[in-house]
Every structure is written in structure tokens, then in C-alpha cells.
């Protein structure tokens, strides 16, 4: 089972020796980030023993979750790297392995039709269970034990600065540019307090709806804090949160937004999932949670928020006002550049009596987001296979930052099938951002990256087997000639068959007969080679 709130999850991590407390005072300006960066790249408590089959080389990393009890400038403890290993992700999702969760997704997405009346009757409890995944409105929630409206103050939260140039000048993050102005370290608020630049809320579910209240969405978008009651809403144009904002702005109305920290252990993951259109993140969270998420009405907004959250920031995203947001050290290992994004006016902050503030840091992989992404890779394989039945398996290697490389294993049946598969992947939701897609045969393990590269070297003629298309790109891809648009490459590393431009015989791969392999395995001890 998943956990009903963040502090319950933290207690379970501590009992499992998956979390360490830091009791000395630490600085939210870079120090916490540097600690988390170092820990996330260290071995996890279980090491490779906890690694899944799909990540046999690096799957033992991730370190431990961290709870900082004393953060300078705040009375609220801070938690980071809670989801930063395979073992902790499995605990958060309440599953023994991602494949079992994927099987549940497949059963939900493609149920077997009942053949008899008895089978139909047996399905009724399952249908009732699905109905129970919907969010449930309750009267009271721990997230509103303390309510602050006129005295709401973002500066009371232990919000971190992740990387040195976050929120600074663009000139500081572009190679070849020379800073033409002194570096800015902070701004003065209206009440005379100094607030450092570059503080970001990085691990919140951002709740929005359409203007008519329909289509509730949760996205994990970064929020740059600019003052006690002001912030900036960073959401890329392709995401539902940005689409909702465009609908509100078209009516000349500010968009209600709830920035939610904590809650059920499945919520942060659900907020990051690439769900099909029409599928609510809250409904999916209820599925992962094996029960609907309790929700309470927000205090100053026409939105419901998770009752078991640690902290909820309520506000409105301006329909017309924008501000300079960024730069920000991103999961690509580079700073994303500054741009204009809508401002947020905070109307309330509610929280538990003794809340814990969850956050994360992204950067050169692997970090916490890597393990969340790998969970998505496994859990959503059945949905990808529903869209593209040719796909046997796929791998988003950790050094590819999720959108740079995609290795795909197919069951090849006809000429140029690899091109068809690559085109289908580029048309499948957020897979459209894949810059390089490598297609291999069914007998190549896509999680053995050396085997994939061997297939590329052995089976690819660069002129015949590579193909380039133009289309949408990840906004964070700084190599693209335009923001959000550029070229992508498909690489057909399958063995070639007639109809694919070969003019000579294709050689047979070398393998030992099965009976010889079994003979050697059976006699290995006799050889004296142990």
C-alpha cells in the first residue's frame, strides 16, 4: 500500500534505513542542493541488490532520503531525495516492482471482455473498485490546520536555491558572454526584508482547471518565488497547465492555482505522468493509491486540494502580467534560459500544524527525477504497446536526460518497419520530444546499452538507415535551432531484409547450438574453472 501522507512515508523510509536526518543548521542557498547532489549519486542502502533487471549497471545508486531539521531562515524542516532510488519509488507507489504495476495499468486499459454471465457478475466488484478511484470530497483536512490569508508569507518556507546562477542574469549562463552588470544576489521586499534571487519551489503539484471548472489537472511545474506573496508560473506551452492558462487569459480572467506540497505518496509521481488525454491525474493517483484521494475546498479559490497535504499555496495566475523567470539549472545538466512567464498573486497559505517542506533538485543525471522517470518508462510500457503493437520493449537511458535518446526493441515483420515505429513514437504524446530513436531487433536487449551500440555499428549504413524529420522539440533542448522546434533522427539498427535496399546477402549471426550451451553449463564444475 502507498502512504496517506508525507510524514507517514518519511517514517517508513526511516524505519527501512532509507532516510537520514541532518540535525545541524544548513543554508537553503546552495548548501542543501550540494548535499543532495552528492548523496543522490552515491550507492543506495540496498546497492545493486535492489536494482531492477532493466537497470543492472546503475540501478544501485540513489543514496538515501534526507530530512534537514534546521534550515536557516525557517522553522520548517525540509525533505529531499525521498523518491531518489528504485527501492524508495517502489515504497512510494506501494508495489513490489514496476512490472506488477504495469500489469495493473494494462488490465485497467484493456480489460478482457467477459464471455459468460458468470464472468460478467464476477467483474462487478472490479467495476465498483474503479469507481472508488475518483477523488473524494471531505469536510476537513490536515492541510488546513493553520490558515494564513492576510499574513501569508512565502518567505517563511525553507525554499532552496538549487544552482549558482538560478534566477540571475542570462549573461552568466551563456558561454562566450561577458557579464555587463554586477551579479544580483537579492531583492528588497515591500516590508524592507532582503529576499535572495533564484529561490524555487520544485516539488509541488500545481492544480488548475478550465474556466468552467472541468478537466482538473495536476502538473509538476517549477515556481520561482519573488516575494512574500508573489511568484512566477513556469509552464511550457505543450503542458495542460499552460493550455488552461490560455483559456482563462482568452476570457480576460486570472486563473486560480493551488500549489500543493506533500500529500499521499503517489501524488508527486502522478503529477509527472504522461497520461492520455481525458485521464485525470487525480483519478490515476486514486488508482495507484487503491482508493480515491480525499480533497477539501480551498480557502480562497474555487478549487479542491488534497486534504492530507503538508502545505498548500493558493493564488491566481495573472491573465496579462508577466515577469522574467529563470535562468534555472535543469535536468539536462545545463541552465535553461530566462523568459517571460505569468505572475502569481498569493491569496493564502494553509498547512499542517507541524509541516515538512518537500523539495527536489534536478541537474546532471542521475538525480531524484531519474527514478521517477524510469518508473514511468516501465509502468506505461503497456500503453505504448497499445498504441504501437510492434514495440516489445524500450529504454530511456539515464545519460539521455529522457528526451535525447530512446532505444526501442521491435518484432520485425516487414521492410522499413523501423521507420514506421519511429514515426509512431514521435506521434505518441510526450514521446514526440525524443531526439534520437534507435530501433533494434527483438533479440537485442535495449537495457544492455553496449548491445544496442553493437547493433548500430553492425547493422547501420548511415546513408540508408538514418532519417531526419522536423517537429516539436523539448523546450529545454538548447541545441535545437528554435525554441521548442528542430530536427530529430531515427536510426534503423535492425537486420536488413529484402525490400530495404540491400544488394548482397546479409550474414548470419554467430551463436552456439542450444544443446552445446546446456552441455557446457552442466559440466562446468568438471572443467575446474570455477
**Residue 481: CB partners within 8 Å, gap ≥ 6?**
none
CA-based R_g, the chain, Å: 25
Identify the active-site residue in 61, 330, 465, 474: 330
Among residues 329, 395, 429, 356, the alpha carbon closest in space to that of 55 is found at 395
H/E element holding 107? helix 98-109
CA 414/CA 419 separation, integer angstroms: 11
Residues pairing with 342 in the sheet: 322
Round to whole Å and give the CA distance between 530 and 520.
Answer: 13
Can you tell me the distance from the alpha carbon of 234 to that of 109, in angstroms, rounded to the nearest whole number? 32
Q: How far apart are CA 425 and CA 384, in angstroms?
A: 8
Helix (H) or strand (E) holding 319: strand 309-325
C-alpha to C-alpha distance for 481 and 77, rounded to whole angstroms: 43
Please, is 12 exposed, middle or buried when counting C-beta atoms within 10 Å of its C-beta (0-12, 13-18, 19+)?
middle
The secondary structure of residue 404, as a DSSP letter, is S
DSSP 82: T
Specify which residues 70 forms β-bridges with: 25
Nearest Cα to Cα of residue 408 among 369, 374, 434 = 434
Reading across the β-sheet that carries 357-359, which strands appear in turn?
A: 19-26, 65-71, 78-80, 357-359
The candidate with the shortest Cα–Cα distance to 471, out of 408, 426, 406, is 426
Distance between CA 504 and CA 299 in Å, rounded? 73
Instruction: Judge contact between 328 and 235, C-beta under 8 A.
Output: no
3-state DSSP helix/strand/coil % of the chain, to nearest 5 = 30, 25, 45
240 labelled catalytic: no
Which residues on adjacent β-strands are paired with residue 21? 67
> How far apart are alpha carbons 114 and 197 in whole angstroms?
59
Active site residues: 330
Amino acid at each position: 500500500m502507498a502512504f496517506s501522507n508525507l510524514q507517514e512515508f518519511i517514517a517508513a523510509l526511516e524505519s527501512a534505513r532509507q532516510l537520514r536526518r541532518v540535525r545541524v543548521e544548513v543554508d537553503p542557498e546552495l548548501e542543501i542542493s550540494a548535499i543532495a547532489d552528492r548523496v543522490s549519486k552515491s550507492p543506495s542502502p540496498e546497492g545493486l541488490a535492489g536494482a531492477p533487471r532493466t537497470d543492472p549497471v546503475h540501478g544501485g545508486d540513489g543514496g538515501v532520503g534526507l530530512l534537514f531539521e534546521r534550515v536557516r531562515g525557517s522553522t520548517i524542516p525540509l525533505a529531499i531525495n525521498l523518491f531518489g532510488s528504485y527501492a524508495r519509488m517502489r515504497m512510494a507507489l506501494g508495489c513490489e516492482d514496476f512490472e506488477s504495476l504495469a500489469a495493473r495499468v494494462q488490465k485497467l486499459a484493456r480489460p478482457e471482455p467477459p464471455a459468460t454471465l458468470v464472468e460478467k457478475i464476477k467483474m462487478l466488484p472490479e467495476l465498483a473498485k474503479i469507481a472508488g478511484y475518483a477523488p473524494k470530497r471531505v469536510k476537513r483536512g490536515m492541510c488546513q490546520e493553520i490558515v494564513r490569508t492576510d499574513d501569508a508569507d512565502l518567505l517563511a518556507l525553507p525554499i532552496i536555491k538549487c544552482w549558482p546562477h538560478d534566477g540571475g542574469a542570462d549573461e552568466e549562463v551563456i558561454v562566450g558572454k561577458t557579464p555587463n552588470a554586477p551579479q544580483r544576489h537579492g531583492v528588497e521586499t515591500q516590508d524592507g526584508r532582503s529576499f535572495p534571487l533564484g529561490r524555487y519551489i520544485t516539488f509541488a503539484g500545481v492544480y488548475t482547471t478550465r474556466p468552467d471548472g472541468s478537466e482538473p489537472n495536476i502538473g509538476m511545474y517549477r515556481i520561482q518565488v519573488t516575494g512574500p506573496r508573489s511568484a512566477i508560473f513556469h509552464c511550457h506551452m505543450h503542458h495542460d497547465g499552460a493550455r488552461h492558462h490560455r483559456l482563462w487569459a482568452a476570457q480576460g480572467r486570472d486563473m486560480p492555482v493551488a500549489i500543493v506540497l506533500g500529500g499521499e505518496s503517489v501524488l508527486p509521481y502522478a503529477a509527472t505522468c504522461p497520461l492520455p488525454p481525458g485521464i485525470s491525474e487525480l483519478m490515476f493517483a486514486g488508482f495507484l493509491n487503491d482508493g480515491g484521494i480525499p480533497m477539501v475546498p480551498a480557502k480562497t479559490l474555487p478549487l479542491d486540494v488534497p486534504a492530507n497535504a503538508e502545505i498548500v499555496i493558493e493564488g491566481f495566475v495573472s491573465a496579462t502580467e508577466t515577469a522574467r523567470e529563470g535562468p534555472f539549472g535543469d535536468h539536462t545538466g545545463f541552465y535553461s534560459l530566462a523568459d517571460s512567464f505569468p505572475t502569481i498573486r498569493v491569496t493564502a497559505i494553509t498547512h499542517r500544524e507541524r509541516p515538512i517542506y518537500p523539495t527536489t533538485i534536478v541537474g546532471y543525471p542521475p538525480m531524484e527525477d531519474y527514478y521517477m522517470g524510469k518508473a514511468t518508462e516501465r509502468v506505461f510500457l503497456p500503453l505504448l504497446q497499445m498504441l504501437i503493437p510492434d514495440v516489445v520493449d524500450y529504454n530511456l537511458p539515464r545519460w539521455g536526460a529522457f528526451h535525447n535518446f530512446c532505444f526501442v526493441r521491435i518484432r520485425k515483420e516487414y521492410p522499413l518497419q523501423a521507420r514506421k515505429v519511429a514515426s509512431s513514437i514521435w506521434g505518441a504524446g510526450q514521446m514526440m520530444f525524443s531526439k534520437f530513436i534507435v530501433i533494434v531487433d527483438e533479440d537485442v536487449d535495449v537495457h544492455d546499452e553496449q548491445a544496442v551500440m553493437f547493433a548500430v555499428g553492425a547493422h547501420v549504413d548511415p546513408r540508408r538507415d538514418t532519417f531526419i524529420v522536423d517537429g516539436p522539440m523539448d523546450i529545454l533542448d538548447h541545441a535545437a535551432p528554435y525554441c521548442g522546434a528542430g530536427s530529430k533522427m531515427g536510426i534503423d539498427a535492425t537486420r536488413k531484409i529484402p525490400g530495404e535496399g540491400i544488394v548482397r546477402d546479409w550474414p548470419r549471426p554467430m551463436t552456439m547450438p542450444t544443446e552445446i550451451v546446456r552441455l557446457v553449463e552442466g559440466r562446468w564444475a568438471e572443467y575446474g574453472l570455477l
